[in-house]
Structure 1
Amino acid sequence: MAFGIFDFLSLIGALGLFIFGMKVMSDSIQKVAGNKLREILEAMTSNRLLGVLTGVLITTMVQSSSATTVMVVSFVNAGLLSLIQSIGVIMGANVGTTVTGWLISQLGLGKFSIASMCLPIIAIGFPMMFSSREKLKLWGEVLLGFAILFLGLNFMKEAVGGLQNEELLSFVKNVDYAGQPYIKQFFIVLLFVAIGTVLTIVVQSSSAAMALTLVMCNEGWISFPLAAAIILGENIGTTITANLAALIGNVHAKRAARAHFVFNVFGVLWMLAVFPFFVNLIAGASVDIFGADPMKTATGIPAALALFHTSFNILNLLILVGFVGFIAKVVIKMVPSRSEDDEVFSLDYIGSGMMETPELSILEARKEVVKFADIVRRAFKYVPRLVTEMDEKKLRYYTDQLEKYEDITDRMELEISSYLSKAAKGELSSNGGHQVRSMLNIANYLERIGDIYLEISRNLTMRKKKKAYFTQEMRDRVAEIAALVKKSLDLMVENLEAYERDIDFAKAEELENEIDETYKRLRKEYIKKVESGKFQVRSGVYYSDLISELERIGDHVLGVTESLKKDNELIVEE
């Protein structure tokens, strides 16, 4: 029977239906879970076992290792997970994704096929999708996705059946693995590992690649050892999704994605060394468990392959879970920091767990507040550069950096406030209570400064689009007030680091007064220049807004100092 273009399209369509069903089911389960998945990830500590179990649980729930790894990469990018924590979750995701193989082998290709139940399942799920209750509607989508997934699998079986006599693919069916010497077997396995990698990269879904492999095995196309080799390749190919997601992320996100790649590739390498022995071991276990020898019976391969996939990933996890720190060092060398900006996207001192006492928690929070202030101080350098820089590429970079820093300040303020609120629920001394209130105020002021950075970035971007250019005199005036603001930010960080020791409140107030006086003088000059026609009105508006925003930064910096001063005075009184 000739395999024509229509048959080829039928196979691709069946694969597409399977992927679509998987996506609908996975997305709907994530929505049903709501924020629980994120809460599970956020609640993680540096405990490796907890991280691994989290990865297994979430991937089993959403039936997509790609969804888990992409979520992990985005959390690392936002600073919610450290590199060490992310590696544990990714390891667990590799084990969780093996559940898909069991579902397909037992429900789709086993003695009991769920294909006959797909239409009744759709009949139940479809009306649920029109429910006014959101949860019921989402569960309807889950059922619909589940049914479509197995319908796609059934169509895939039919489409693959049409390829049985196709000469073009005879080389796959006729590859003689068992009768070859060890060296030749090794290169044959390498070839099929490459096929599995490419297949997964092309379909962008390890579950879909796994399904296609299982169907081909069930139809007698591929022997068990070669199918196992394809599965190893799929383990490498699936890492591409996370690496693509990390392309737009920071250096930490890229490292998390590379860790996924390193973990999976290392697993494939050690498995290649013991491949013949391990395949025979799984084949023997399959005879005992399922009563079918995958080396002799094609229908026995899917279950054996699911067992191989799960056993391999669990063993790889057990071997490498103790080397998480080493993997982290490797990926840090693979993806070095390009600049200091790459090193500011995580909480260093506080996490979801509290210290033994609320007072110790306050000490940790204070360190985080100092780091927060230092981030705000360092971000300021991009503000004057936006005024003087003419290169479009650099301007875009500065704008992106300020937007990124604004997001970081929002996140840090939220995390620090949440942490301090938990600490405040404990038994705090009067002194501790004052410190909590002071740090909450300081975090709020720092977050507002981040908001002003974003306002400045957007206003100056709009100025560029409107072609409202600053004169050299305007730039000089901006540089003058910006230099004072920078001094006040530097002093703010010094005072926070000093805390109860050598805090220079007088100098902080003096700098703020100087910023205010400079702003008033520049404002008067600006009005006179506009009235005399020396400043263009459009450029003048952006200039006026900019110096006003710089003055507001000075106000918030003083707010930080005043909060610190008030706290210090209360401590002295007690």
Structure 2
Amino acid sequence: MTATATPLIAAGTLLGGIGLFLLGMTMLTDGLKLAAGRALERILAAWTRTPLHGLVTGVALTALVQSSTAMTVAAIGFVNAGLLDFSSALWVVFGSNLGSSVTGWLVAWLGFAVKADAFALPFIGIGMALQITGSGTRRGALGQAVAGFGVLFLGIELLRQGFTGLGPQALPPLSSDLPGLALAVLIGLGMTVVLQASSATLAVVLTAVAGGSLAVEVGAGVVIGANVGTTLTGILAAIHATSNARRLAAAHVLFNVVTAAAALALLSPLLAAIHHLGVWLTGEGDAVTQLVIFHTAFNLLGVLLMWPLSGPLARFLLARFRSADEDVARAQFLDHNVAAVPALALQALRREMARVGHLALQLASDATRMAPVALPWQPAGAQAASQLTRQLQALEQLQQQVGAFVSDVSRQPLSRDVADQMPELLRIAGYYDTLARVMHQVGQQALRVTHPATVAPTTPEGHPLAALPLAFTAALDFFAAADPKAHDLDQVNTAHAVFDAAYEAAKAAVLRAGAQGLLEVTAAHEWTGLLGDLRRAVEQAHKAAQHLAALPRLKPTPPANGPTGGTPGAE
């Protein structure tokens, strides 16, 4: 009975250790992302100017959040939020793979060299105290990360106990020949797909090697498979995402597959060299240290392989996945991956809102040109009306995506500045929505109203409705000034005042023409109604510009293609 119970208890301990490790990793990653907030943005803006900076940043941030998968998904979001150009993000992803090796060193140094519960339990207690006393604040998020750090190493302790209880013969023997290594790679890949964390697979492998259940060569094969398996999360994150998201996911897959193939081909000489290095450093060939060194060397090999290939790779990927960007109805900055970091989600939303405003004002300008902007007036053709309808439909789809994105972000704990700006952005979205709908109506109505040239056979300058085209021309000037991609609030206010004066003059001219019998009363009502709708649209655009100007300024969006020089250190 006892002989049967002991393996069962050990297996339960092993499963519990995996669960605690994953829980601790999740708490650590989520807590640090929330605690970092705008610091991530500042780091990315300051430290990704060159490929080398991007590489170092990827290593450092992954070492901090202890998850290369989270960093890869975050990099996708950073690009879509406009904080990173694609080439810099490429090196952040490469750096995140190298930074994942820090987890192995922490497990080797702290998980096996020190009694884990001696420091894990105090970390959990201190972290939870910070979280309870600072709920919803940066201190609370940091407390969650500290507690997660403790839970993570408590999980490692349980893993070690589980493998000790199972004994060295607990796992089926795997040979170090090619079929055995291929099976080890598949096991590592499968474990990472199931656990959704290559760090968890690495922790399991290290404890198995430390307990004598796995040979170093087999453990190395599992590590290679784990690195390939970690690409699945990036692939899933890029499905139905933006073009840059799919490009980065493809780059991540290529990096890991190419590195895995090279590491398998060089496995024997690599492990032999690492064994001699371990003996030289520590005086003994510790299996755990060898495997950790192999994991680091494996990822460093990938960076060295990608060093000369990054430029052609970036150009190749930038030429692919272009169809989504060409679809105006698809959001270019919003991505569900970045919604998990509210501060970055806010940046993405701000940039998408500027794009929505640009498209809404473009529709407004097109609709205005369907009305008389000069005399004699030539009404637009029927195709202009269908084009205007397509523009409105595209904006409606974008507004739906904005609403869905805001809902995703709202499920996260929000800092005060994010929580304050979110309602303002929704208000601005409402202004642009009303602007687009009203101007669509103006454009359609302009095709049906009485032709001003039929009022009186005089020159355009002496026409009784000469003020009418001036109002529409002033509206055109205002819509150009109010474009969020280029507007200055002083210019917007000036253009608004000019339009107000032109509107009043045009309205007075229409009423006067109707009163003098130069324009039918029905036509006069149509023109005053159309002018009133135009003024309402201008007011919506003016409010949107004022509210946008009141928000904190955004950092400039990086160039679309960014540097493609390829090698770290290239300016």
Match of 1:118 in 2: 120
Deviation of 1:218 after TM superposition, in Å, equals 1.6
CA distance in 1, matches of 2:8, 2:534: 67
Counterpart code for 1:88: W
CA distance in 2, matches of 1:517, 1:19: 69
Match of 2:322 in 1: 336
8 Å CA contact 1:374–1:493 kept in 2: the answer is no
Residue 476 (structure 1) aligned to one of 420, 440, 444: 444
- CA 1:117–1:557 in structure 2 vs 1: closer, same or farther (change >3 Å)? closer
8 Å CA contact 1:485–1:554 kept in 2: the answer is no
5 Å-filtered alignment, 1:20-419, equals 20-110=23-113, 112-131=114-133, 140-164=143-167, 169-170=171-172, 174-177=173-176, 180=177, 185=178, 187-247=179-239, 249-293=241-285, 300-341=286-327, 377-378=358-359, 388=389, 397-400=397-400
- CA 1:146–1:339 in structure 2 vs 1: closer, same or farther (change >3 Å)? closer
Deviation of 1:9 after TM superposition, in Å, equals 4.9
Q: Secondary structure at the match of 1:222?
A: coil
8 Å CA contact 1:2–1:166 kept in 2: the answer is no
CA distance in 2, matches of 1:25, 1:322: 35
Counterpart code for 2:292: A
8 Å CA contact 2:228–2:257 kept in 1: the answer is yes
Aligned length: 438
8 Å CA contact 1:519–1:547 kept in 2: the answer is no
8 Å CA contact 1:29–1:138 kept in 2: the answer is yes
- CA 1:341–1:125 in structure 2 vs 1: closer, same or farther (change >3 Å)? same
8 Å CA contact 1:377–1:490 kept in 2: the answer is no
CA distance in 1, matches of 2:102, 2:196: 18
Counterpart code for 2:290: A
- CA 1:344–1:292 in structure 2 vs 1: closer, same or farther (change >3 Å)? same
The two structures have a TM-score, normalised by structure 1, of: 0.62
8 Å CA contact 2:399–2:429 kept in 1: the answer is no
Counterpart code for 1:302: V
Greater shift after overlay, 3-12 or 281-290? 3-12
CA distance in 1, matches of 2:271, 2:510: 81
Match of 2:553 in 1: none
- CA 1:401–1:485 in structure 2 vs 1: closer, same or farther (change >3 Å)? farther
1:497-529 per-position Cα deviation (integer Å, ceiling 9, x unaligned): 9xxxxxxx99xx89995899699989xxxxxxx
Over the matched positions of the two proteins, sequence identity in percent amounts to 27
Match of 2:22 in 1: 19
Q: Which runs of 5+ in 2 are unaligned?
A: 334-352, 368-385, 407-423, 450-471, 487-493, 512-521, 523-528, 547-571
For CA contacts below 8 A with separation 6 or more, give which structure has more relative contact order: 2
CA distance in 2, matches of 1:491, 1:73: 32
Match of 1:550 in 2: 537
8 Å CA contact 1:200–1:234 kept in 2: the answer is yes
Counterpart code for 1:234: A
Deviation of 1:84 after TM superposition, in Å, equals 0.3
Greater shift after overlay, 208-217 or 66-75? 66-75
1:289-321 per-position Cα deviation (integer Å, ceiling 9, x unaligned): 23333xxxxxx3221111111112122213313
Deviation of 1:17 after TM superposition, in Å, equals 0.9
CA distance in 2, matches of 1:374, 1:22: 37
- CA 1:480–1:402 in structure 2 vs 1: closer, same or farther (change >3 Å)? farther
CA distance in 1, matches of 2:29, 2:152: 11
Greater shift after overlay, 375-384 or 312-321? 375-384
CA distance in 1, matches of 2:208, 2:509: 78
1:169-219 per-position Cα deviation (integer Å, ceiling 9, x unaligned): 42xxx2222xx4xxxx2x432332222122112111121111111112122
CA distance in 2, matches of 1:290, 1:46: 39
Q: Secondary structure at the match of 1:46?
A: coil
1:124-148 per-position Cα deviation (integer Å, ceiling 9, x unaligned): 5454444469666555444422221
1:361-385 per-position Cα deviation (integer Å, ceiling 9, x unaligned): xxxxxxxxxxx99985556577898
1:233-265 per-position Cα deviation (integer Å, ceiling 9, x unaligned): 111222222333333532122212322222222
Counterpart code for 2:32: I
CA distance in 2, matches of 1:404, 1:486: 32
CA distance in 2, matches of 1:176, 1:130: 50
Counterpart code for 2:287: I
Deviation of 1:404 after TM superposition, in Å, equals 10
8 Å CA contact 2:168–2:211 kept in 1: the answer is no
- CA 1:264–1:484 in structure 2 vs 1: closer, same or farther (change >3 Å)? farther
- CA 1:32–1:405 in structure 2 vs 1: closer, same or farther (change >3 Å)? closer
Whose helix fraction is larger, Structure 1's or Structure 2's?
Answer: 1
- CA 1:209–1:16 in structure 2 vs 1: closer, same or farther (change >3 Å)? same
- CA 1:454–1:87 in structure 2 vs 1: closer, same or farther (change >3 Å)? farther
8 Å CA contact 1:51–1:85 kept in 2: the answer is yes
8 Å CA contact 2:479–2:538 kept in 1: the answer is no
8 Å CA contact 1:377–1:486 kept in 2: the answer is no
Deviation of 1:557 after TM superposition, in Å, equals 12
Q: Which runs of 5+ in 1 are unaligned?
A: 294-299, 347-371, 407-447, 462-469, 498-504, 523-531, 533-540, 560-574
Q: Secondary structure at the match of 2:307?
A: helix
